[in-house]
Amino acid sequence: MIRVGVVNVTGYAGVEAARLLLTHPQARMVACTGRSEAGKPLAAVFPHLFQYDLTITEQIETDVDAVIGCLPHAASAAALAPFVERGIPVVDVSADFRLHNPAEYAAWYGGDHPAPQLLDGAVYGLPELHREAIAASRLVANPGCFPTSALLALAPAWQAGLIEPGIIVDSKSGISGAGRGLALGYHFAEADEDVVAYGLKGHRHLPEITQELSLLAESPAPRVTFVPHLSPMVRGIESTCYADLRLDRLGADPASELLGLYRDFYHDAPFTRVVGAAPHTKHTAGTNFCLVHPTVDRRTGRLVVSACLDNLVKGASGQAVENLNLMLGLPQGAGLDGAALYP
């Protein structure tokens, strides 16, 4: 059994990693940290995890074979660097290793990169695009939840050169995406029955989207407008992406041709499903799946793609477990084959 340590189990991503590892057939969480709750039994802090007999510690104090890091950016790189330097496989759920350029990191995250010496060895952990590199890596940067949905929605059409560079990504996220920290805007009375756009001047997930799209095609450079919205649900992301089609590169039935292209692109991707109708966030709740539906607005000649996922699973800890499986030579879907919660 592979021994996994979870750094910062007390955040939503950390506790979700613990939940998923509880039923993993070949890996177990044997250590977990959390500065605010150190010294307490995990089951006392999270009663739904009563099957664990573990105490939360300030640092990982036992031998582990792999680590999932769930600290905020900057703090995460500093905590994980010693494990990386010892050759222990690490998946970082924070943003610290997602951007290849340290100057880009500084521009978006407001400070110098805390471990620039590790950037060259980090792999962006979207298995649908980088599965082989992930399997060969010892440091994987788990993608952001919004970029996961946007990239899976856009990658097939962008790589095939079927859309113009002006792209709009309109995303809605559940409140758990903001984490467990207390803030007025996330209180029930404030957030219920309300939807609001944020990050209108630029969101930190935008450079991830442009970075990864740029790697799929040499030119032209993508020009992405990304606007997220806070939506009154606990879990889920729905991203609707728009781009002008290059109709001269498509046949008489562009919608069917695009559907076939997407299905071919994700033929070997176990957790991205191309569906024939617009998906719902509930269709993915609690699962590691992303559901993608491409279609065409014939009046305007635009591609319209809807993608849904659970922001805490495929958008965070489920994808972290998926990446860890690849890094450790395990079946990609180990521990991740549950059906969606319904209703």
Residues annotated as part of the active site: 145
Angle between helices 206-216 and 102-109 (to 10 degrees): 150
Taking the C-alpha atoms of residue 158 and residue 245, their distance in angstroms, rounded to an integer, is 10
Contacts of 295 (CB under 8 A, 6+ apart): 255, 258, 259, 303, 304, 305
Query: For residue 34, what are the CA distances in angstroms to 55, 88, 157?
Result: 10, 20, 42
Asked if 182 and 70 touch (Cβ cutoff 8 Å), the reply is no
CB atoms within 10 A of CB 343: 4
Taking the C-alpha atoms of residue 70 and residue 72, their distance in angstroms, rounded to an integer, is 7
Taking the C-alpha atoms of residue 234 and residue 312, their distance in angstroms, rounded to an integer, is 10
Q: How many CA atoms lie less than 13 Å away from 275 in the CB half-sphere?
A: 17
Question: Side chain identity at 264, as an amino acid letter?
Answer: D
Asked if 206 and 213 touch (Cβ cutoff 8 Å), the reply is no
Beta strand spans in the chain (E): 2-7, 27-32, 66-69, 90-92, 123-124, 139-141, 163-173, 196-197, 223-230, 237-245, 272-274, 290-297, 302-309
Q: Specify the 3-state DSSP secondary structure of 92.
A: strand
Quote the DSSP letter at residue 18. H
Question: Side chain identity at 60, as an amino acid letter?
Answer: I
* Residue among 151, 33, 142 nearest 95 (CA): 142
**In residues, how long is the chain?**
343
Please measure the distance between the N-terminal and C-terminal CA atoms of the chain and give it in whole angstroms: 34
